[in-house]
């Protein structure tokens, strides 16, 4: 199974941003669960039926290590 890794950062207003540079995808949401769903939907749109061979994973951005992301943002 392949992995679609979305690096997560947080805007000052609390919005979570997930980016996957390899596939050129970016999604946003207010909660981790919603971000996971948005990432999955973006992946489906980008790769079509092949999405079943991918697992979506969210990982905090290294530049956000000083920022306290909501609990649950783990890799």
Provide the pLDDT for residue 3: 95
In the chain, % helix, strand, coil (3-state, to 5) comes to 35, 35, 30
In 3D space, the residue among 46, 50, 70 whose CA is nearest the CA of residue 60 turns out to be: 70
Q: Which residues contact 6 (CB under 8 A, 6 or more apart)?
A: 18, 19, 20, 25, 27, 35, 39, 56, 57, 58, 59
Provide the pLDDT for residue 62: 83
28-71 pLDDT, tens digit per residue, is 999 999 999 999 999 999 999 999 999 999 999 887 544 444 44
Distance of alpha carbon 32 from alpha carbon 2, whole angstroms: 21
2-15 pLDDT, tens digit per residue, is 999 999 999 999 99
72 pLDDT above the threshold of 70: no
């Amino acid at each position: 199974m392949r992995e679609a890794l979305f690096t997560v950062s947080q805007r000052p207003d609390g919005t979570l941003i997930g980016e996957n540079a390899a596939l050129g995808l970016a999604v946003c949401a207010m909660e981790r669960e919603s971000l996971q769903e948005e990432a999955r939907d973006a992946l489906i749109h980008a790769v079509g039926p092949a999405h079943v061979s991918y697992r979506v994973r969210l990982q905090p951005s290294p530049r956000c290590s000083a920022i306290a992301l909501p609990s649950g943002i783990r890799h």
